[in-house]
Amino acid sequence: MMNNISKIGLFVAASFTLVLGACLPNNNFPDEPVVEFKEFVKIPDANGVDQTGKLILEFTDGDGDVGLGQGDTFPPYDPGSQYYYNFFTRYYEKQNGEFVEVELDLPNFFRIPVLTPIGQNKTLEGELEVELFINNPFSDYDTIKFDAWIVDLALNESNVVETGEIVITKE
């Protein structure tokens, strides 16, 4: 049996994967990033319990300034700043018929690596994929959802998208 600290770490740990589409020839996307919810795929463990899921977003960015390098740690991207991260999620549980944002002990935000294309055309289009733990061990609720958005290097925030209801199988 896990202790409570291990459970907290398990719940909010995440991995981040990027699937980048081909750079598009001279599309006229806005300089601000735009995200669109594509899908959420639950990943059950060996016992059939939904532990993790993949949140998949499609995105565009007209000037291609999405992503942070390992050296991007000076203001405004310094540790402790809200812009140290550039991929953000909020977690909600459906409690008594209403979705309520649940503040987790550990954060649900991540750093997208540098995606700026080489060459004259900087337009970006692709998919962002993040794996999230979805089975809150401290909750009896089985219906959740996420909001998500990104921020580019110029600190332009994208629109916020939502997953819709995700019903999870609990232990």
Residue 49 has pLDDT above 60, yes or no: yes
Domain ranges of the chain: 4-167
Top-confidence residue, 117 or 57 = 57
Rounded Cα distance, 154 and 151, in Å = 8
Sign (positive/negative) of CA torsion 76, 85, 126, 104? negative
Q: What is the pLDDT of residues 9-48, one digit of tens each?
A: 333 334 444 444 444 455 789 999 999 999 999 999 999 8
**What integer pLDDT is reported at residue 107 of this predicted model?**
67
**What integer pLDDT is reported at residue 158 of this predicted model?**
98
CATH of domain 4-167: 2.60.40
170 CB-near residues (< 8 Å, 6+ apart): 49, 50, 135, 140, 142
Look up the pTM and report it: 0.83
Q: What is the pLDDT of residues 97-153, one digit of tens each?
A: 999 999 877 668 999 999 877 777 788 999 999 999 888 888 999 999 999 999 999
Lowest mean pLDDT among 52-56, 76-80, 136-140, 146-150: 136-140
Cis peptide before 44 (omega within 30 of 0): no
Top-ranked range on mean pLDDT: pick from 61-65, 84-88, 106-110 = 84-88
**What integer pLDDT is reported at residue 4 of this predicted model?**
36
Residue 6 has pLDDT above 80, yes or no: no
